[in-house]
Amino acid sequence: MESEQKAVFVTGACKNTGLTIAETFARQGYDVFLTSRSREEAERTAHALSQKYGKKVRGFALSAGDAEAVRSVFAQIAKSGIPLRTAVFNAADLGIGQDTLEGSLEEFRQVFEVNVFWNLTMAREAAKLMKENGGGALVFINSNTAYRAIPDRAAYCSSKSAVLGLSRALAVDWGKYNIRSNCVLPGMIKTDRWYSNAGGQRDSLTAHTPIGDVADFEDIANAAFYLGTPLSKNVTGAEIVVDGGNTIQLTPRV
């Protein structure tokens, strides 16, 4: 790892996967800039991580669609003087329960607005700082549903497919600035709903992976850390699927 002071930007970083990603980078010596839709949550999480890891951690409130707020956040990151080396885009609109035949087209559009356009809005501002700093890494927390569709989630699945294409395009467009762009594709993750078996999650077909286990938050964070640091310095336009082998099997062995 580099010895210089360096920072990571993480969206949706106050709980679950996003929080674990922020913690992983802080533990490895990165200062952290994190976001949440709630200013109170962002500031509380930033304070807790700063106390725990002894790093500079700052929380920002960002709501999808506020491009001016994004520019303001990255202006403050630039003013900090800490080189931004990594940006991890974790926040997403899950688009649950959308009927593709009769459902609202506006709700469908909103999922794309958040998962594709909003991520590009932030990635552009991050890349501008990285260009000035000599390069960096963008990591999009995607989903294996980019390849494998699930019921009543067409907006989510297709938006995740779009992010794969976006990441590859950015890898081509911004490679000349030494900016890499990659995706992590989780499958099922051990959230509170998984542990409580809400809706029979632990008995669902997607829980039956070839290795007999699904991912925890650390699995996703470790993949993001690999793609977001010089450990993967010659990797760009690529993806890491973290789903216990779920995507590769034709039918689960139950």
Question: What digits encode the pLDDT tens for the residues 78-100?
Answer: 999 999 999 999 999 999 999 99
Check residue 143 and give its pLDDT: 96
Alpha helix segments (H runs only) across the chain: 16-27, 39-53, 67-80, 105-112, 119-133, 154-174, 192-195, 217-228
- What's residue 88's pLDDT? 98
The Cα–Cα gap between 11 and 194 comes to 23
**10: β partners:** 34, 88
Residue 56 tokens read as 């500079």
Higher pLDDT, 37 or 1: 37
pTM of this prediction?
0.95
Question: What's the pLDDT score for residue 198?
Answer: 79
Alpha carbons 137 and 88: distance in angstroms, whole number = 8
What phi and psi, each to the nearest 5 degrees, are found at residue 168?
-65, -40
Query: What pLDDT does residue 11 have?
Result: 98
Q: Residue 216: its pLDDT value, please?
A: 96
* Residues composing the chain: 254
Bridge-partner residues for 99, per DSSP?
none
Share the mean pLDDT of the chain.
94
Query: Which has the minimum average pLDDT: 56-65, 161-170, 175-184?
Result: 56-65
| pLDDT for position 1 | 42
Element (H, E) at 88: strand 84-89
Is the pLDDT confidence value at 72 over 50? yes
Average pLDDT in the 134-161 region? 96
Position 199, amino acid: G
